[in-house]
Amino acid sequence: MKKLINSPETVLADSLIGVAAAHPELRVDHVNRIIYRAAPTRVGKVALLSGGGTGHEPLHGGFVGVGMLDAACAGAVFTSPTPDQMLEATKVVDSGAGVLHIVKNYTGDVMNFEMGAELAAAETGITVAVVVVNDDVAVEDSTFTAGRRGVGITVLLEKIVGAAAEEGRDLAAVTAVARQVNESGRSMGVALTSCTVPSAGKPTFELPEDEMEIGVGIHGEPGRRRVPLAGAAEVARQLVEPILADLDFTGAPTIVMLNGLGGTPLIELYVMYAEVRKILDAAGITVARSLVGNYITALDMAGCSVTILKADEDLLHLWDAPVNTAGMRWGI
Amino acid sequence: MTNDTIDLDQLTGWLTRFRDLVTEKVAYLTELDSAIGDADHGSNMTRGMGAVLERIQASPVGTVDELFKGVGMTLVTSVGGASGPLYGTFFLRIGTTAGPVKALDASGLAAALRAGLDGVVARGKAEAGDKTMFDVLAPALDAFDAALIVSSDISSAARAAYSAARTGRDATEPLLARKGRASYLGERSIGHVDPGAASTSLLFQALAEILDEE
């Protein structure tokens, strides 16, 4: 394992020190491992709280700031944060208008956020709403598994819902936008290599040089199938077809994200994006907005994911609203 | 040795033995978890139970509910993943149900453990055969209750529970996982003992051993 770290045990703490040093517009609670905005939540503004295991940067800490999240709870690499963190963060960001918890659908995250919300209700009386994000079409059997995993749509959701909260919409309205985005978005990823969790010191899974994992999860969860490595056009086809088979994206403007998983250069992401666009154009799907880059990663995994969101005028308006975070910035 | 009641010292002994067992079996639990999970169950449980015993030693408690609420909150905040909320809820419910008492009789312990199981079900939504800790907890408590119909001796009930726990643990091996990270493996989860079932079996081993020792 070759990594730029001091020790596997201190990766998270050390990175939070870096975040605090680089971003004076943010505050870091190093004890509770919470990244939050330096400016308190405006009175009347619904607060957005997310979080999860780290290793997916810029998600979630990189999306704290004007137009997106109010706070993010950081767990150890690929490990959910704990309820006391969510309780503390909820207290920090609430301005009286309520807090929306944005939770990716993983067993640990769901249970820990659920307990955090219960503690907040019992101790503070703060109104907490929850949206569980589950957009990974790679999981075919949702009934007899933990269900679809929360992946790429989380990025689009945090941006769009952040704008809705910034506009002053109330908790019910903000939550409704979150549900709409989750229900209208689908993702699918591919891994060319495994990732290496610092504390494990070796790759999470073995993947031969000439094979790829179609449908991989952002922690290296197994996908739909392992197939021979192919050119970008064929890989794009294998990612986009299952998405289009799952939801009808015609007749509405879409937002498309081509996301890198951490170990793939941007030039390859653009090669992939070109291929994705050819497929979408041929399928008669209107792409209104695009996002290409590393937004929800899996440490050093080589590979990418495609996310498509069926939008409408309101979602496009919220997408275009100003955002000023470490990981996403425009219109400011 | 027979026991009609279990007091604070014995309950603390149970937790201490559980800490010792998960520490002793850390490699085994992690190996099970690396087959169908994310290879951290052994170290997470060892860290969590270590924190529990540190807390008990640092601030002794006077009642059973105080003891188990402390245990539950410590596990919730130190274990993480799914095991933290599940084990944490289990012990929190035991504490709430036991109340501010110095000791529990057999039926009091049975009721507290049952409430713990109900908490695990409420939190994790697991059912029999999903290949989770439920597959050990439920049959172990059924055996515990059944033994108490015959005799009010907690020691023999704990032995019966441990026996059922081992059977339940081994019975998870051929099952297809339907909950948690293992469920994404589908058919590939078959042929491995569930790590949560294995650690829960250690919980009953600890109870049986601590009561037999005296």
C-alpha distance from B142 to closest chain A C-alpha (Å)? 26
Among A112, A132, A216, most B C-beta atoms within 10 A, so best to mutate, is A112
Torsion sign over Cα B118, B119, B120, B122: positive
Active site residues of A: 56, 219
Residues of chain B with C-beta less than 8 angstroms from the C-beta of A149: 184
For the residues B66-84, what does the mean pLDDT come to?
94
Residue A326's SS3 state is coil
Contact B80 A145 (CB under 8 A): no
User: pLDDT-based confidence at B186, cuts 50/70/90?
Assistant: confident
Q: Across the A/B interface, how many CB contacts are shorter than 8 Å?
A: 72
Q: Which domains does chain A have, with CATH numbers?
A: 13-184 (3.40.50.10440), 185-310 (3.30.1180.20)
> What pLDDT score does A84 carry?
96
Report the residue from B78, B82, B183 with minimal CB separation from A111: B82
Report the residue from A75, A76, A115 with minimal CB separation from B85: A115
Q: Residue B133 pLDDT more than 70?
A: yes
Q: Residue B52 pLDDT more than 70?
A: yes
Report the residue from A80, A145, A149 with minimal CB separation from B80: A80
d(CA A22, CA B98): 50
For the residues B66-76, what does the mean pLDDT come to?
97
Length of chain B: 214
Q: Given the structure tokens 């609670």, which residue do they identify?
A: A29
- Residue A44 burial (C-beta neighbours within 10 Å; 0-12, 13-18, 19+): exposed
**Strand A128-133 versus strand A99-104 pairing type:** parallel
ipTM of the complex in this document:
0.90
Copy the structure tokens of residue B14. 């149970």
Q: What is the mean pLDDT of each run of 10 residues along chain A (332 residues)?
A: 94 98 98 98 98 97 98 94 97 98 97 95 94 95 86 98 98 98 98 93 92 95 92 98 98 98 98 98 98 98 98 98 98 91
d(CA A56, CA A135): 16
Residues of chain A with C-beta less than 8 angstroms from the C-beta of B134: none
Contact A311, A255 (CB under 8 A): yes
Residues of chain B with C-beta less than 8 angstroms from the C-beta of A200: 39
- CB of A46 less than 8 A from some CB of B: no
> What pLDDT score does B214 carry?
63
Report the residue from B38, B123, B178 with minimal CB separation from A111: B123
Residues of chain B with C-beta less than 8 angstroms from the C-beta of A139: 184
How does the average pLDDT of chain B come out, rounded? 95
Q: Which domains does chain B have, with CATH numbers?
A: 5-213 (1.25.40.340)
d(CA B185, CA A151): 18
Copy the structure tokens of residue A70. 């109010």
C-alpha distance from A199 to closest chain B C-alpha (Å)? 10
Copy the structure tokens of residue A265. 């250069």
Q: Which strand (E) or helix (H) includes residue A324?
A: strand A323-325
- Could you tell me which of A92, A97, A96, A87 has the C-alpha nearest to residue A117? A87
pTM recorded for the entire structure = 0.93
Residue A319's SS3 state is helix
